[in-house]
Amino acid sequence: MSTPPSADQLPLAPDGAATQEQWEGAVAAVLRKSGRLTSDDPDSAAWSALTRTTLDGIPVLPLGTPDTAAKLPDPGLPGQAPFTRGAAATRPFGAWDIRARFEDPDAELTAQHITEDLENGVNSVWLVLGQGGLVLEDLDTVLEPVLLDLAPVILDAPERPVLAASEFVRHLVHRGVQPAPGTNLGANPIGHRDKRPMSREVVRDVADLAVREGLRAIMVDGTAVHDRGGSDVQELAYTIAAGAEYLRLLAQAGHDPATAAGLIEFRYAATAEQFPTIAKLRAARQLWARVLELSHVEPDLRGQSQHAVTSRPMMTRYDPYTNMLRTTVAAFSAGVGGASAVTVLPFDEPLGLPETFSRRIARNTSSLLAAEAHIAEVTDPAGGSHAVERLTEDLAVAAWELFGRVEEDGGLIHNLKDGKWDRAITEVVQRRREQVARRTRPITGLSEFPQVAETLPHRRPYAVPRDVVRNGADFEALRDQPAPTPVFVATMGTVAQHTARASFLANLLTAGGITARTVGTTTGVEDVLAAYRHEAVVALAGTDQAYAEWGPDLVTALREAGAEHVVLAGRPVEGLAVDDHAAMGLDALAFLHRTRERLGVEPGAAPGVEPSSGTTTEVEK
């Protein structure tokens, strides 16, 4: 049994009053052991080594200090302007509104799913109507089990928003019920391209119905930008710019700013990058409060109603069960960030229409976070964190600057018409693809630690293909077309000597749809040749010492035996004539494409940005 360290051996002060220099020294010592810092680097280099940068170039600090947030503006209190710390001081549902999405065209099955969800923790119903969802004529069927005075309903009907709103109101009148607070007719003409009719009259007509019935009218959907691959700042700026456009359109329809603000709800994506998600939701409330302040809305009416949805792009088709972990972190972040409502998308969402099991897991994620992890016991638990406050302010400032440029350039509608948003998003998509390709933005189960053999669950297909640019689309495309022959991995030495590089290489190859066939323990060239089966592509995996001692002879022998392409696991070694290298930091995607071509796989078209139905449109005059 080891002896506990004495106080003077602890890396930080035992009384908790450690200095920044002490922290830097302790962290730098660990980073030097892992090779992330050298002996020549100063201890202060620990900051740059651990600081992550978002796609917008905003740093996510590893540690917040008082100096980090010393000059930031006062975030106020929860429920008070500028609403950074929460749109309300308390939560009406005790935690957040657990909102489930329903889009299965089978009306009877959807009604069954709605009943199960509402009986087991779901608070509100998000209905997708029209192309790709339920037909409008089935509205009565799917709403029949819903107690409309208790469960808010949020419509999503891009093609016929006015008709959908009218039919919903007709259903309310027929049943003689007062709709639950938070019910939203869900019109979003700015956010839907090529969905007709999309005119200014849509805003006017839906708003008139909403005011008359005491409902919300508009859903500003930032997930459309996120699904296309946009950054956090782009999503924030888009939603604030769209909200400002709706305020103007509602003013033209005769509604005062306070009434108009009360008709609008905002939807944001929540990802497994927890701190940026928390900060984004906090920044969004702060930005919208500023817009309403400039619109002369009373301070207590400037709170933003937020609906957070777990990210679609972060999810994977392969190893889909890992999506449960991603959505759990995303839901946690949304709850901590103060979202009014949270939708956890089922883990099998990338595969097709979710089924009973995945729907149950999705709704229970929120229930467990609220009831067992007690995430909602404290309002704005991230408030006061120097790092979170800094990140919130940085996101808000960057988004406000982008919003300002959009306004100066004629407003969001003008920017959407001329394609500026599409071009800006495409640039972000490319940056993300490069990071994913180099695995500096790793995707567990896809670009990292893929399963060698897995059976994907079968799901019924969507009526209309998803309009989502998934973060791992490039790797998924490789897995969709596996290589016909394996790579022979010539392991050199004992298991302890070769396992690190052999495992690295096998995981890398599997991520590209390539099977790796390894040898095991070897003592020399003869052992490797005895296991060789005339594969065209071979890879060497061993220690630098083994490479130097018998690597050249092994390469020569393998080439004479039929190897056409030789890869080395690790950095280049002098005197070792190989055709390619695979080491940490390489462009994994490029390496995999090269290897696949050597294995006879025809290069396919790289996944691109598909035409969007959710980020651009033309609002007719």
* Distance between CA atoms of residues 314 and 528, nearest Å: 41
Q: Which residues contact 264 (CB under 8 A, 6 or more apart)?
A: 216, 217, 218, 219, 220, 243, 246, 247, 305
Query: Can you give the pLDDT at residue 617?
Result: 32
pTM (predicted TM-score): 0.91
Residue 621 has pLDDT above 50, yes or no: no
Query: Can you give the pLDDT at residue 616?
Result: 33
* Distance between CA atoms of residues 126 and 103, nearest Å: 8
- Residue 11 pLDDT class (50, 70, 90 cuts): low
Query: Can you give the pLDDT at residue 193?
Result: 55
Residue 118 has pLDDT above 90, yes or no: yes
> What is the greatest pairwise CA distance in the chain?
87
Q: Burial letters for 495-522: b for 16+ Cβ neighbours within 10 Å, e otherwise? A: eebbeebbbbbbebbbbbbbbbbbbeeb
Q: Say if CB 490 and CB 557 are below 8 A apart.
A: no
Q: Say if CB 575 and CB 554 are below 8 A apart.
A: no
Mean pLDDT (whole number) for 554-576: 94
Residue 5 has pLDDT above 80, yes or no: no
Provide the CATH topology of domain 97-416: TIM Barrel (3.20.20)
- Give the tens place of pLDDT for each residue, 282-318: 999 999 999 999 999 999 999 999 999 999 999 999 9
Q: What is the mean pLDDT of the chain?
A: 90
Strand ranges for 272-426 from DSSP E: 306-310, 341-343
Kindly report which listed range (8-22, 46-60, 459-473, 579-593) carries the lowest average pLDDT score. 8-22
Q: Please determine whether the domains at 97-416 and 481-598 fall in the same fold group of CATH.
A: no
Give the 3-state secondary structure of residue 424. helix
Query: Can you give the pLDDT at residue 13?
Result: 55
- Residue 389 pLDDT class (50, 70, 90 cuts): very high
Closest C-alpha among 230, 242, 163, 235 to residue 202: 163
Q: Say if CB 145 and CB 120 are below 8 A apart.
A: no
- Give the tens place of pLDDT for each residue, 391-435: 999 999 999 999 999 999 888 888 888 788 889 999 999 999 999
* Distance between CA atoms of residues 28 and 413, nearest Å: 50
Q: What is the dihedral of CA 551, 556, 558, 559, to 10 degrees?
A: 140
Domain definitions of the chain by residue range: 97-416, 481-598
Q: What is the CATH number of domain 481-598?
A: 3.40.50.280
- Give the tens place of pLDDT for each residue, 490-548: 999 999 999 999 999 999 999 999 999 999 999 999 999 999 999 999 999 999 999 99
Mean pLDDT (whole number) for 566-575: 93
DSSP lists the bridge partners of residue 98 as 342
Mean pLDDT (whole number) for 158-171: 95
- Residue 10 pLDDT class (50, 70, 90 cuts): very low
Mean pLDDT (whole number) for 473-500: 95
